[in-house]
Amino acid sequence: FRVAAMDQEAGALNAEKRALQIAVGAAALLPVTAGWAGIIGGAHFLGLFGSAPAVSQAAYLSGLLLGLGLAFWSTIPDIERQGRLFSVLAGIVIVGGLARAFTALRLGAVSSLIAGPLLIELGVTPLLWLWQRKLARKMVR
């Protein structure tokens, strides 16, 4: 019975790992898509207008966003062993979300275009980070 219980536990852990991998893959699709759109379509595609330096800065930030999404994707194959990288990436997203929230509140500019990304940055990302940490504790012994 012990072997059957161990096999069942291993199967449950593998299913949880697969679910986390799918969730991270889907969540990272957003920064990859938005980053790529900002680079290819330019800041105007994202509804950002301004001087050449402002548009250049938006392109740079789009590149960072693309890079973050690709970096999250790089954690997927052995996600349970990527705690340090996953934590750094999640921390970057959360700090960015806090900056977005602070600025939106300061400017009185809270809208669905701001609330949507904030939900991901300050809601989904911390939940995925907690899930990754939980899975790592279970699988890496």
pLDDT in tens, 13-62: 999 999 999 999 999 999 999 999 988 886 666 666 677 787 788 889 99
pTM above 0.95, yes or no: no
**Tell me: the pLDDT tens digits for 108-119?**
988 888 999 999
- What tens digit of pLDDT does each residue of 63-112 get? 999 999 999 999 999 999 999 999 999 999 999 999 999 999 999 988 88
Sort residue 110 into left (φ over 0), alpha (ψ -120 to 50) or beta: beta
pLDDT on residue 14: 93
Contact 73, 28 (CB under 8 A): yes
Quick one: angle between helices 2-40 and 125-139, nearest 10? Answer: 150
